[in-house]
Amino acid sequence: MSDSIRLLEELSADIQSRLGALTYEEISELMERRQIIVDQIEQEASVSPLIEEEKQRIRVVIGQDAAIQMRIHFLRNEAAHWLQQRNQAKAQRSAYETAYTPDAYMMDSRK
């Protein structure tokens, strides 16, 4: 059990140390790896209950999650802002693009 908790602590510390430099994809990959470890801990805990020291170590790791969540929200908002700017630029550009076929003929009829 303590090996799984140690892996969780190490992975969480790695995420924390590089949090400012990680991309959304990297954070996502690390969080998936972290979830596998958490699932493993849950399986082990169902067989043999956690002792108080292990519970405390897990609480410390959970306490660090707020910073990770803030970084994920920041990256999500940054991506949403970029998409919004891209859509605005696309709308402005399409207003100036021609909506007719360049090799079409225009016929003028007199009345």
CA distances from 29 to 33, 49, 68 (A): 6, 29, 13
Could you tell me the pTM of the whole model? 0.67
Mean pLDDT, rounded, for 65-71:
89
For 43-89, the DSSP string reads HHHHHSPPPHHHHHHHHHHHHTHHHHHHHHHHHHHHHHHHHHHHHHH
pLDDT by residue (tens digit) across 72-111?
899 999 999 999 999 988 888 877 766 666 666 666 677 6
